[in-house]
Amino acid sequence: MSLNDYLSPVLPLNEQFECLSLQSIPLETHSVVTADKDDKRVPKHTIKTQHFFSLFHQEKVFFSLEVYVYVTLWDETDAERLVFVSKADTNGYCDTRISVKDITRVLLEFILSIDPNYYLQKVKPLTRPYKKMPNELINSASTPVKTLKILAKRLKQSGSTKIEETASSCFQQNFYLSFTCSREILTKICLFTRPASQYLFPDSSKNSKKHVLNGEELLKWWGSILDRLLIECFQTDTQAKLRIPGEDPARVRSYLRGMTYPLWKVGDIFTSKEKSLAVYTIPLFPDDPKARFIHQLAEEDRVLKISSSSFWIELQERQEFKLSVTVSVMGISGYSLAAPTLFLSNVDVIVPRSQKQFRAIKKYITGEEYDTEDGAIEAFLNIRDFLTLRMATNLQSLTGKREYQEKNSLGPTSNVNAMVITMLKPRKKAKARPKTHEI
């Protein structure tokens, strides 16, 4: 299935949309969780890839979602995949009735359908061994004569008669890594929900049409998305956890009563033992309050003294949590009902040539001011022109197929106020069982 196959069924019938599906080059990075020197199970490689989605209607951007995918390789056969939902937001400038909840859910389903080997076929290494490379490098300081001599030397060494083939081969061999893993690997999804008036669309809270959820509404909104993913995409013994720092467990359980999936529990999927050190169990993600607190503990020379249970107690006392709003950590850890098989093509995704270009394209969305719809229009025009003129590609066109018969509970231009969101710890693989719950 293509991205179009996922999105079109949840967009309104016969309405025209455009979609930006942006992906960074997979990058080797540090381990998601700090490795304990005494732990015998240490990851060999961790590969991070960023996805950024935006939807446009009538030449205005109205929704964006940012997701990170981490593939951790323990050895040649043992691996796991972690999907960290970083931020999601709308700005209120969509002029037709939509379900942001369904759009978000199917985008996560799309990501879950991607074969993890797709991210491993061309990985930018954490460091590149320039000094050990057998060939000289061509850079901006190379003179024309030197450049020709280097190219001639490469042609002779490779035995190729084409400069393009030689340069490509040299580039692949020396600049990128490649790995493989089983498609049937442990999959985790993690979220950290905290209400905010805006995250991806600056000043969009000044738009009176933007629907902003409070902490409890946001928790239930994301909970319903994960609940449905559990029913439709995961095996029936998958872990599902909810933690509200500082909240009584009985109160947390009250949020779980409305869930369809029966195995929701209080807690988080990365804390296996409350007495274990937090630094060795808490994952570190971009723009993550938990990661910032871990860094603060390191600066205070307390990072090797704080247990996981103490970490959550102290976390709730931090300034960003003292706003009398409900925040939560949600997590899923289990195996998919069906092994992911999708390898993305240029129809489904745009992969810029560098991280710098990725950030520049994303900035056309996140760098505008959305106090009026002019910002939404400018973002569309800038993205469209950049892709056409600089990358010889276009936004993906979509035609909605959904007939709305019942009023959406969140209204026509619902906002998923964004959030930062987080992850957790593995367990043994369970045997596949038939799906027993339906929505």
Task: Please give the positions annotated as active site.
Answer: 288
Could you give the CA distance from residue 365 to residue 17 in angstroms, rounded to a whole number? Answer: 16
CA angle 98, 102, 103 (to 5 degrees): 75
Residue (of 287, 272, 321) closest to 422 by Cα position: 287
Question: Which residues, in sequence order, are bridge partners of residue 333?
Answer: 188, 239
* Six token digits for residue 321: 């949590």
Q: What's the Cα-to-Cα distance from 322 to each of 70, 246, 319, rounded to whole Å?
A: 31, 11, 5
End-to-end CA distance of the chain: 22
Q: Exposed (0-12), middle (13-18) or buried (19+): which is 137, by Cβ within 10 Å?
A: exposed
Going by C-beta distance under 8 Å and a sequence separation of 6 or more, which residues neighbour residue 248? none
Q: Exposed (0-12), middle (13-18) or buried (19+): which is 339, by Cβ within 10 Å?
A: middle
Could you give the CA distance from residue 409 to residue 7 in angstroms, rounded to a whole number? Answer: 20
Could you give the CA distance from residue 212 to residue 420 in angstroms, rounded to a whole number? Answer: 16
The Cβ of residue 433 has, within 10 Å, a number of other Cβ atoms equal to 10
Could you give the CA distance from residue 283 to residue 86 in angstroms, rounded to a whole number? Answer: 13
Q: What's the Cα-to-Cα distance from 112 to each of 23, 54, 146, 194, rounded to whole Å?
A: 15, 18, 48, 24
Residue (of 167, 158, 160, 114) closest to 138 by Cα position: 167
